[in-house]
Amino acid sequence: MAPPRRDTKGIVDARELFARVDFRRREPAEALRPYLEHYWLIDWDLTEPYASNVVPHPSVNLVFQRYTGTAPFGEVAGIDPHLFTKKLEHRGRVCGITFRAGGFRPFAPGRAVAEWTGRYVPLGEAFPDRADAMAAAVGLVLGPDDEDARVAALDAFLLTLGPHGRGPEPDQQADLAMTLADRIRTDPAIRRVSEFAEAEGMSVRAMQRLFAEYVGVGPKWIILRRRIHEALERAETRSDVDWAGLAADLGYADQAHLVRDFTATVGVPPTAYAPGANRR
């Protein structure tokens, strides 16, 4: 499997975030890599509040969190269809697990992944038959100051999370969903769900059902999000973006359609986007 990605796709004003928090990505245990993109670890000690904004990927996250003045907790974060904003202040720590698109279902096979979309569910509620183990895991993951120990705790947690306490449940449909979602996310030539479904020997309805069960959002949503992530990263790294040309490269009929989608997702039009600007 590929190592943790190093791009900043989805992070609004990544340079500002990295200047304020200690952000790392780490690789999970080998047995978990088919299902996970990476772990992500954040620690901060701020003198003034800071709001982090992220355009979410089509991935379920499982997140352990500790903030000043509140008890540590863990939750399943379903795919957020909207811009995700989190206010950070004082001192804190987050240890997150980003599943591959389609990779969460083998750890929680009893529910369609679409049921988690847009929701943030406490671990004890998400896995009620293992509530005590979920509560213990919060301390085991967040407690160590040693980063390797936190990664090892995340590995140990996931390797006993599956329905039989032995890690993820093998599922050919999950494998198919992960493969198809990865293709959509990485191949800019995929622009229409109907054409992609036909090329894969599936009906559009069958593909949509598969994605609802195993990914949590539809293939069209992933195509749109891939475009916005690319446009956002281009704006982050270049000051002379040819927006009309980029719109054509991304498969838009014209620049106006890119501007509409970018503005609806990020909150400002692409031509007004500037890292470090106050957008909210």
The residues with which 88 forms a beta bridge, in sequence order, are: 50
Q: How confident is the model at residue 237 (pLDDT cuts 50, 70, 90)?
A: confident
- Most confident range, picked from 8-17, 140-149, 166-175: 140-149
Mean pLDDT across the stretch 97-113? 95
Tokens 């791009």 belong to residue: 7
Say which residue, 169 or 207, is predicted with more confidence.
Answer: 207
Say which residue, 161 or 117, is predicted with more confidence.
Answer: 117
pLDDT at position 14? 86
Q: How confident is the model at residue 3 (pLDDT cuts 50, 70, 90)?
A: low
pLDDT at position 280? 45
Torsion of CA 39, 43, 48, 49, to 10 degrees: 30
The C-alpha atoms of residue 72 and residue 95 are separated, in whole angstroms, by 11
pTM: 0.92
75-96 pLDDT, tens digit each: 999 999 999 999 999 999 999 9
Q: Which of 102-106, 238-242, 264-268 has the lowest mean pLDDT?
A: 238-242
Q: How confident is the model at residue 236 (pLDDT cuts 50, 70, 90)?
A: confident
pLDDT at position 277? 47
Residues in the chain: 280
21-63 pLDDT, tens digit each: 999 999 999 999 999 999 999 999 999 999 999 999 999 999 9
DSSP summary character for residue 94: E
Count CA atoms within 13 Å of residue 167 on its CB side: 14
Domains of the chain listed by start with CATH number: 11-158 (2.60.40)
pLDDT at position 276 over 60: no
- Judging by DSSP bridges, how do beta strands 11-12 and 22-26 pair with one another? unpaired
125-135 pLDDT, tens digit each: 999 989 999 99
pLDDT at position 279? 46
Mean pLDDT across the stretch 238-260? 88
267: CB partners within 8 A, 6+ apart? 53, 83, 279, 280
**238 class by beta-carbon count within 10 Å (0-12 exposed, 13-18 middle, 19+ buried):** exposed
DSSP helix, strand, coil percent of the chain (3-state; round to 5): 45, 20, 40
Mean pLDDT across the stretch 174-189? 96
Mean pLDDT across the stretch 114-125? 97
Mean pLDDT across the stretch 257-277? 79
Nearest to 137 by CA among 87, 86, 188, 95: 95
Counting residues of the chain whose pLDDT is more than 90, the rounded percentage is 78
Mean of the per-residue pLDDT values of the chain: 92
State the amino acid at position 242 in one-letter form.
D
pLDDT at position 278? 46
The C-alpha atoms of residue 176 and residue 199 are separated, in whole angstroms, by 14
pLDDT at position 2? 58
The C-alpha atoms of residue 232 and residue 219 are separated, in whole angstroms, by 20
pLDDT at position 1? 56
